[in-house]
Structure formats: C-alpha cells, structure tokens
Structure 1
Amino acid sequence: MKIGILQCDHVREELQPRFGDYPQMIADLFAGVAPDCRFRVFRVQAFEYPDSLDECDAYITTGSRHGVNDGHTWIQRLEDFIHQLHQVKKRYVGICFGHQLMIKALGGEVRKSDKGWGIGVTVNQVLHTRSWMQPAQPVLNLIASHQDQVVSLPPTVDIDVLAGSSFCPYYMLACGDHFFSVQGHPEFIKAYSNALMEIRRAIIPAERIEQGIASLQKTLDDQLFARWAVNFFNAPGR
C-alpha cells in the first residue's frame, strides 16, 4: 500500500535532531503494524500535491502549529484537496489539524476551545465501534497538543462520532467508509510531548503543563490506533 503523507508543518528546528520530522514520525508509527507500507510525502505548505488522486492508495495528514481558520492560501488549497478526496471517496486519515480541516471542508465548525490547551495523554471513551476497529477497546489514550477543537458537525453530511470525552466531545470521527480522523497525535512519542510542553511553558499555564507531564505515565494506544488505521485503509467499500 502506498500512503501519501500531506505534510502540514515541521517539527521545531531545535527538536528535530532528537525526534526527526513529522513524516518520519508517521512512518515509524506504521512500521510496527504494516512494515510493507510505502510513503510519499507532499509538502502542502509549498503547494506540493499528487498529479492524480490515484497516485496513492490513501492519504494521511500531519499536525500543524497553524489553525484551520488562519486564512493562509495553502490551508485553503488543502481544504479544497480534502473536498476532492471526499467527492471520489478516497481513503483519508486526518490527524489533529487534518481532523479539524476535514470537518471544516465538509461544512462543520472549528474554533479555539474555551477549555484551554489539550496536552499530554488524554483518555477518550469509544462511543461507536466500526468493523475495522479491531481489536476493540472501550477507551483510547493518545497524546494531545491542541487549542482548537471541532465544535459542530457538518449539517448536511453524516458524521459518526467514534470517540470523545467531556474535554473533547468530537475526538474521533468517521464519514462514510472513506474518511477517518482523530484529534490526538498517535505519531507522537512521550519524550517528544514532554519536550514540546517544556518549550511552551511561556504560553501554557503552569498547572496545565504539570498535569500534562503527569499524564505521560498513562499507557498509550498509539499502536492500536495504527492497527485501526491500517484496517480502515484495507476495509471493503473502496
């Protein structure tokens, strides 16, 4: 399987020597469950896109420090591309920024949450299980790093809320058999999350930072999410 990585940002320069960049994080995430996957990176901030939607079997986004409502031309272009994927029902997995932009492209609303930053490991209840969410599990623990959230779903598109919490009700979503997204960062490792929180001490309240760092003691379900994503890519209904 060939997966197109839609790269929406870079890891901060000072952290790249330790943690690499986002495409490598995603490749590492899938290496344990689908070592035969091949990846092609499209730097969408530089307007790099496939010549054809069928150049890849499926697409996945990285996160981004930018917000989907920032008004940048490259974000509008990516939103248009996601809408094209929806029209032809091409498989797509949206991570964090890509989760939010997927919903925005379909007509929903995203804005900065009045609950503040989501950081560290968050616990989310699985509300609905699709056939490809195997092995099944009642909760999903992934690393978070976001201020914006999906606050309302598209009124004219059927969206399945797969997981959520009181902090983030629309945490994991699906649209038809072709779109699947999550607010969390399955590609982040705990050391990277910790380093990112330390760098952001000037902009995130100290109490929230300490809570986030303490939460890193929780078990992560990153490999479970990777398995679900691979099952989703391979599920019937293409």
Structure 2
Amino acid sequence: MTLTIIETGLVPEPLRGRFRPYPEMFSTMLARHGAGTTPSFVPVLEGAPLPDPAKLDAVLITGSPAGVYDPLPWMDPLRDFIRRAHHSGTKMVGICFGHQIIADALGGDVRKSEKGWGLGRHVYEVVPDHPHFAPGIKTLAIACSHQDQVIAPPKMAKVILRNQFAPNAGLAYAGGRIMSFQPHPEFEDDYSSALIELRRGKVSQDIIEAAQDSMKTRSDSAILARAISRFLTG
C-alpha cells in the first residue's frame, strides 16, 4: 500500500542539521510499528501539486507551523483535496496541523486557543471501545507542540482522545475512513525537547520548565503509532 504523505511543514531551521524532515519521521514510525506502507511525499510548500485523492491508497497530513487561518497559496487547494478525499472514501490521517485542517475543511471550528501553548508530554484520556486501540488502554502520554486547537469538531466526527487542555485531541470520522490526532506520535523525545527549548524566551519560563519536566513521563507514542498503523492497513 502506498501512503501519500502531504508535507505541510518543515523542521525549524535551527534544528534541521540534527533531525530528519517530518515525512521521514512518519515513515520511520510506521515502518517500526508494522504498517507495511510505501511512502510517497508531496511537498506542498515547494509548490508540488496535490494528486487526485480518489486514486490514492491512503493519505497522511503532517504538522506545520501554519494555522488554518493563514492565507497561504496551498491552503485552499488542501481543503479541497480533503473534501474530495472524504467524498471518495480515501483513508486519511492528520497529525497536529493535519488534524486541524481536516476538521476545518469538513466544517469544524479551529482557532488559536485561549489556553496558550501546549508543550511537552500531555496525558490524554482514550475514549472507550474505539476499534483501533487495544482493549484496556485508558490513557496515552504523547508529546505535543501547538497553540491552535479544534474548538468544535465537525458534526460527522467523534472524539476518541481528549484531556482538559485539548478536549478534541483525537477524532474519528463517520464512515471509518478518517482519523486524526493533535499530539505527535512521530516525534522522538530529543526532538520534542529541542522544540520546547526553541520556545524559550517566547513562552513563560514556568511553561518551559513544566514541559521539559513532563518529558520524564514514559511515552505512549508506540501505542498511538500502532493504532494508526492498524487504521491504515485494516
């Protein structure tokens, strides 16, 4: 199965010598956790055209520093791509910005949250009985890095991951062909910590220190990665 990864963001320039691009992070994550996919990258930031989603096996939309409200030339074409993918029943996964733009394109409300920055390892409640999570999993601790949030999901979406900071952190869409998440299972801990440090001086010292301290919590990224793999290949 070919997984078309829509690259909507770049690793921040100060970190590019140390860390791989986001599509490669996802490719590594999925290879490690058994998705059995062949990746194909679409760098929309470089002007790459979006393919016909009806001809694709599956799609993954990456994170980005952009917000859905930014007037970027690739934003409306991506919304149209998402709507056509939904109409054609193409499997689709969104992470962070990907989670937000899917919700935005399909009728949800996405904005910069009044709660400010979510940084570090957050613990999320897993809504019971979702088929892509193994039975008995009640919480997941996953790294996040965002200001924007899905404030109101589309009517066709059900919340499957949540916490007090981000009540709509995971969504599963009617029809079983779209799933998206606010946190980043593709991030290794050293990259998450480096991102936190980049915010130093821009975010309060208390938030930075709490975020770095939270990285001591054991990561459940592998559990979420396996759920995404099962979704893509199931």
Taking structure 2 as the reference length, the TM-score comes to: 0.94
**Contiguous gaps of at least 5 residues in structure 2:** none
Cα RMSD after superposing both structures: 1.5
1:163–1:171 contact (8 Å) kept in structure 2: yes
Which position in structure 1 is the counterpart of 2:38? Answer: 38
Once the 2 structures are TM-superposed, how far is the Cα of residue 54 of structure 1 from its aligned partner?
4.6
- Secondary structure (helix, strand or coil) at the match of 2:124 reads strand
Which position in structure 2 is the counterpart of 1:183? Answer: 182
Q: Which amino acid in the other structure matches residue 75 of structure 1?
A: M
Cα distance change on mapping 1:183 and 1:218 into 2, 3 Å: same
1:129–1:162 contact (8 Å) kept in structure 2: no
2:122–2:141 contact (8 Å) kept in structure 1: yes
**C-alpha separation in 1, matches of 2:15 and 2:135:** 34
**C-alpha separation in 2, matches of 1:44 and 1:129:** 36
Query: Which of 169, 174, 180 is the matching residue for 2:167?
Result: 169
**C-alpha separation in 1, matches of 2:165 and 2:225:** 23
Cα distance change on mapping 1:10 and 1:146 into 2, 3 Å: same
2:50–2:81 contact (8 Å) kept in structure 1: no
- Secondary structure (helix, strand or coil) at the match of 2:41 reads strand
Q: Does 1:71 align with 2:84?
A: no
Q: Which amino acid in the other structure matches residue 33 of structure 2?
A: V
- Secondary structure (helix, strand or coil) at the match of 1:99 reads helix
Cα displacement string for residues 26-50 of structure 1 (whole angstroms, at most 9, x for unaligned residues): 1111121126321000012234245
**C-alpha separation in 1, matches of 2:128 and 2:36:** 29
**C-alpha separation in 2, matches of 1:129 and 1:6:** 29
1:171–1:182 contact (8 Å) kept in structure 2: yes
2:54–2:89 contact (8 Å) kept in structure 1: no
Once the 2 structures are TM-superposed, how far is the Cα of residue 55 of structure 1 from its aligned partner?
4.5
Fraction of identical pairs, as percent: 36
**C-alpha separation in 2, matches of 1:44 and 1:135:** 38
Once the 2 structures are TM-superposed, how far is the Cα of residue 17 of structure 1 from its aligned partner?
1.8
Which position in structure 2 is the counterpart of 1:57? Answer: 57
Cα displacement string for residues 111-137 of structure 1 (whole angstroms, at most 9, x for unaligned residues): 111111000000000123322222551
**Contiguous gaps of at least 5 residues in structure 1:** none
Spell out the pairing of 1:1-238 with structure 2 (5 A cutoff): 1-34=1-34, 36-134=36-134, 136-154=136-154, 157-176=155-174, 177-235=176-234
Q: Which amino acid in the other structure matches residue 172 of structure 2?
A: A
Q: Which amino acid in the other structure matches residue 161 of structure 1?
A: V
Taking structure 1 as the reference length, the TM-score comes to: 0.93
1:119–1:197 contact (8 Å) kept in structure 2: yes
Q: Which deviates the most, 159-168 or 130-139?
A: 130-139
Aligned residue-pair number: 233
**C-alpha separation in 2, matches of 1:13 and 1:205:** 22
**C-alpha separation in 2, matches of 1:167 and 1:205:** 17
Q: Which deviates the most, 129-138 or 111-120?
A: 129-138
